C-alpha cells in the first residue's frame, strides 16, 4: 500500500471532477470504484496519444471526458464566486472546436480544442494544475469585470 498522498486528495479540482462522476451514478454501479479509477482515462502517455488516430471522429467517451473536465472548472468557479456559469463544448468530429465557459456576457474560459481525440494529461498532477489554472484565471476575470457577468 502506497504511503504517497493521492494527487486527488490535494486537488479541489480533481475532487470536484470525481464528485461529478459519483453524482451521476444514481444506482451505485460504480460505488466501489476508487477516485483514481474514475480519473485514470484522463492520463495518457505520449505513446498512448500517438496510438489514437486523428482520422477517426472523437469518440463519445472522450467527448464526455472533455465535457466533465470543463464542467468541473465551471462548478468551482460557481462555488468561489456565486455566479451561474454555462459550459459549451463545440467539437467537430475532426477533433477541433472550442471549450467555452461564460457567466453573463463574460467568457471565463475560451479554449480552442485541437486533436481532441487525444485529450489527456501526462499525470493527474498535471491535469490538476491545468484545471486549477483555468479556475484562477476565470476568477481573476470576474474580479476585473464583475459588471459583465451581470448583463
Applying CB under 8 A, the residues found at the interface with a second copy are 88-90, 97-98, 100, 102, 104-108, 110, 141, 145, 147-148, 151
Using the minimum distance from each CB to a second copy, give the nearer residue, 38 or 102. 102
What's the grid cell of residue 119? 485529450
Using the minimum distance from each CB to a second copy, give the nearer residue, 25 or 150. 150
Using the minimum distance from each CB to a second copy, give the nearer residue, 12 or 146. 146
CA atoms within 13 A on the CB side of 126: 10
Contacts of 10 (CB under 8 A, 6+ apart): 128
Smallest separation (angstroms) from a second copy to the CB of 141:
6
- Report the sign of the C-alpha dihedral through residues 20, 21, 24, 25, in that order: negative
User: What is the number of other CB atoms lying within 10 angstroms of the CB of residue 80?
Assistant: 14
Smallest separation (angstroms) from a second copy to the CB of 150:
11
Smallest separation (angstroms) from a second copy to the CB of 29:
25
Amino acid at each position: 500500500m502506497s504511503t504517497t498522498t493521492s494527487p486527488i486528495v490535494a486537488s479541489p479540482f480533481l475532487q470536484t471532477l470525481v464528485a461529478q462522476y459519483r453524482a451521476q451514478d444514481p444506482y451505485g454501479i460504480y460505488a466501489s470504484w476508487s477516485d483514481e479509477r474514475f480519473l485514470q482515462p484522463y492520463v495518457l502517455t505520449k505513446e498512448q496519444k500517438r496510438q489514437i488516430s486523428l482520422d477517426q471522429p472523437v469518440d463519445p467517451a472522450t467527448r464526455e471526458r472533455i465535457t466533465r473536465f470543463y464542467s468541473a472548472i465551471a462548478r468551482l468557479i460557481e462555488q468561489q464566486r456565486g455566479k451561474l456559469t454555462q459550459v459549451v463544448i463545440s467539437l467537430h468530429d475532426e477533433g477541433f472546436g472550442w471549450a467555452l465557459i461564460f457567466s453573463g456576457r463574460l467568457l471565463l474560459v475560451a479554449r480552442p480544442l485541437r486533436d481532441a481525440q487525444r485529450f489527456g494529461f501526462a499525470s493527474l498532477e498535471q491535469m490538476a494544475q491545468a484545471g486549477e489554472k483555468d479556475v484562477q484565471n476565470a476568477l481573476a476575470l470576474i474580479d476585473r469585470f464583475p459588471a459583465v457577468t451581470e448583463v
